[in-house]
Amino acid sequence: MAIRQIVTIPDPVLRNKAQKVSKVGEEEKKLARDLLDTLEVAKDPEGAGIAATQIGVSKKMCVVRNFFPDPAKNGEYTHEDYVLINPKIVSTSKETEIDYEGCLSVPNVYGKVERYKKIKVDALDISGERIKIKAQDFFARTVQHEIDHLEGVLFTDRVVGGVITEQEMDALFSQEGQ
């Protein structure tokens, strides 16, 4: 298990466009394992995805997590992880949605971001095979967020309105629960 340090702002690697992966070899497979391990232990907030740039590696690779209800555990969620190499959004829905986002590389900051509700992504998997993924709702938001990282774009660049702190976010959610 190789848990890597998550890079945070203002580290310049977060603003650089990542380099395209030319072949999927042992180095890329190790990087994918490191991303998976690092994401698995990421807390506050729990990570839904992580890009290679977030651990200081300028390669077009990310891990995205698709959450869904676990039929074996009433009311609990489980997830499936996808390793995406050289991901590219090939189509989007016309419909968009504005919702809050946060980021492991931008601690204690949240803001509303407009994203496409549905997307189709073309990428390579960890075996170097071409895959196509259809994503919608929160999963589509996660994929778009991670692909932005690979282009040197942070969610704060896309915030609609202002940003809030984690404490303000917690207060907002506790008010909604009343």
Domain harbouring 158, CATH code: 3.90.45.10
| DSSP string for residues in 99-166 | EEEEETTEEEEEEEEEEESEEEEEEE-TTS-EEEEEEEHHHHHHHHHHHHHHTT--GGGGEEEEEE-H
| pLDDT tens-place string over residues 8-25 | 999 999 999 999 999 999
Q: Is 83 helix (H, G, I), strand (E, B) or coil?
A: strand
From the candidates 114, 146, 168, 176, give the one annotated as an active-site residue: 146
- Say whether 40 is catalytic: no
Q: Give the annotated binding-site residues.
A: 103, 145, 149
Asked if residue 1 belongs to a domain, the reply is: no
Is the pLDDT at 177 greater than 80? The verdict is no
| pLDDT tens-place string over residues 61-94 | 999 999 988 888 887 888 899 999 999 999 999 9
Question: How many other CB atoms are found less than 10 A from the CB of residue 118?
Answer: 17
Q: Give the annotated binding-site residues for Fe cation.
A: 103, 145, 149
Is the pLDDT at 6 greater than 60? The verdict is yes
Query: Which has the minimum average pLDDT: 87-101, 119-133, 162-176?
Result: 162-176
Q: Which of 103, 88, 113 lies closest to 11 in space, CA to CA?
A: 103
Asked if residue 4 belongs to a domain, the reply is: no
Q: Which two tokens stand for residue 173?
A: 């959610």
Q: Which two tokens stand for residue 16?
A: 């650089």
pLDDT mean across residues, the chain: 93
What pTM does this model have? 0.93
Residue 45 or residue 152, greater confidence: 152
Q: How many domains does the chain have?
A: 1
Asked if residue 17 belongs to a domain, the reply is: yes
Q: Could you tell me if residue 169 is left (phi over 0), alpha (psi between -120 and 50 degrees) or otherwise beta?
A: alpha
Report percent pLDDT > 70 for the chain. Answer: 96
Q: Is 84 helix (H, G, I), strand (E, B) or coil?
A: strand
Question: Which residues neighbour 12 within 8 Å (Cβ) at sequence distance 6 or greater?
Answer: none
Asked if residue 28 belongs to a domain, the reply is: yes
CA distances from 162 to 30, 112, 155, 168 (A): 38, 8, 12, 12
Asked if residue 6 belongs to a domain, the reply is: no
Asked if residue 5 belongs to a domain, the reply is: no
Q: pLDDT value at position 45?
A: 55
Q: Which two tokens stand for residue 157?
A: 């660049």
Per the omega criterion (within 30 degrees of 0), is the bond before 10 cis?
Answer: yes
Q: Could you tell me the residue range of the domain that residue 51 belongs to?
A: 12-176
Asked if residue 2 belongs to a domain, the reply is: no
Is the pLDDT at 58 greater than 90? The verdict is yes
